[in-house]
Amino acid sequence: MALTVPHIEELLQPGAQALGYELVAVEMSGGDTSILRIYIDTPSGVTVTDCAKASRQFSAILDVEDPISNRYTLEVSSPGMDRPLAKPLHFKAVVGQDVKIRMNTLVNGRRRFTGELVEATDEFVVVEVDGEQTELLYTEMDRARLVPVYNFDI
């Protein structure tokens, strides 16, 4: 089977669930040595111990299934403050907040959208940028992230 991020996600999902983690997103970057980055989460957050446990689980699954033909480095992480948004559920949870979305193709003459997430459905989101609302299909998205808000009040 050809290597695709959805295929890897499908392979790892049962392992994440068995450990009690949500598999938030899987990213693959190219190069001589690829980086396979996997984001996990729980309602109470993720610790370094959680990442290590998940890394061992995912490594074992990937060793058996062997979906990646070239060398790669496995990284397991919490989603962080600029968490990736990969599923409709992720977008629905952050309606009203700022997001950064990069599209695969031009939409209204642009590929990058940074603005308020106004609406999220099962098929698309609506983002307001510079006072203009644009509908963006999930199927056309390259990547999306939450724009972090830093509170420096002590």
Give the CA distances from residue 102 to residues 3, 29, 110, in Å, rounded to whole numbers and listed in that order: 22, 16, 9
pLDDT at 30: 75
> What are the structural domains, with CATH classification, of the chain?
5-77 (3.30.300.70), 88-146 (2.30.30.100)
The model's pLDDT over 80-111, given as tens digits with 9 standing for 90+, comes to 889 999 899 999 999 999 999 999 999 999 99
- Left (φ > 0), alpha (ψ -120 to 50) or beta: where does 20 sit? left
Confidence of residue 64 (pLDDT cuts 50, 70, 90): confident
The model's pLDDT over 30-49, given as tens digits with 9 standing for 90+, comes to 767 788 899 999 999 999 99
Whether residue 1 has pLDDT greater than 60: no
Q: Burial level of 53, CB count in 10 A (0-12/13-18/19+)?
A: middle
Segment among 5-9, 15-19, 44-48, 150-154 with least mean pLDDT: 150-154
pLDDT at 29: 83
